[in-house]
Structure 1
Amino acid sequence: GTPLPGREEYLDSEKYQLKERDWNKPGNIKPFLTRLNRARREHPALQSYANIDFIPADNEHILAFHKWSDDGRDHIIVVVNLDPRQRHESNIHLPLDDLGLPHGEDFEVEDVLFEEVYQWRESTNFVSLDPRTKPVHLLKVRKP
């Protein structure tokens, strides 16, 4: 682009262009964003920035963290594949005490974005995330 004299902006910069978008076109992220925003509304744990603890993962391309509501009744585990091109798998290591979970018992986590339920046990659990189909888990902890 051509810079405007005496300014940081560029002539015909995207900053100033209106682009027509087909929000219903196949492959659009509109359905994903709708589910994400619904989860944010329905889960108090996702409504604050002051409540985050990172969870160790065995793969550097996987980021995991735990969020909880002020009253301690809503716990969400977020697991993200940071690589936009490849599937990545990892064990994540949960802080059972912080999650209010007993040691040695099975428990369920529900992916509130994709409406799937997983049976987990103890603190080390496996995740597999493919950026094309499921780049993230938003897991609600179901206490036994």
Structure 2
Amino acid sequence: SEKYQLKTRDWDAPGNLVDYVTRVNRVRRAHPALQRYDNVRFYDADHPAVLWYGKSWGDDHVFVAINLDPERTRACVVDVPLEALGIAPEATYLMHEQFSDATYEWHGPRGYVELHPQRDPAQIFVLKQ
């Protein structure tokens, strides 16, 4: 069976995921919410090709948007459970995107995400008050 064969890999070949996985692991290690398995909650995204979920632990609130379409850019509005996090529904807060290091100011319980399948098929946001 092929799955038991040793293969030589070119770790520098185009399409290699090593750098991407390294960045994901760096974010995971930095956030206690991402180190637990019993705290995932799925929330509404207004496009069926976007998966939106969050994980919280104490004051660490992390949200992840994933483009499930490998060919097209997907943009949508996502729900943020402000009241469940003890934040007023009309509040202004910051969402810090971990891969790009961009910070966005969001107002109220909905925010906008745009996911490009080749450049950023997923975004990881940390909510800052």
Q: TM-score range by the shorter chain?
A: over 0.9
Question: 1:126: Cα distance to partner?
Answer: 1.1
Query: Computing the radius of gyration over CA atoms, which structure comes out larger, 1 or 2?
Result: 1
Q: What do you get for the CA RMSD once the two structures are aligned?
A: 1.3
- Tell me how far 1:17 sits from its aligned partner: 1.5
Identity of aligned residues (%): 38
User: Aligned pairs, how many?
Assistant: 129
Partner of 1:113: 99
CA drift of 1:55 comes to 0.8
Does 2:80 correspond to 1:94? yes
**Dislocated runs of 4+, deviation >4 Å:** none
Q: Which of 16, 19, 24 does residue 28 from structure 1 map onto?
A: 16
State TM-score, norm by structure 1: 0.84
Mapped to 1, the partners of 2:91 and 2:43 lie a distance apart of 20
- Structure 1 residue runs of 5 or longer lacking an equivalent are 1-12
Aligned ranges 1:1-144 → 2 under 5 Å: 13-69=1-57, 72-143=58-129
**Distance in 1 (alpha carbons) for counterparts of 2:86 and 2:119:** 31
CA distance in 2, matches of 1:38, 1:78: 15
Q: Which runs of 5+ in 2 are unaligned?
A: none
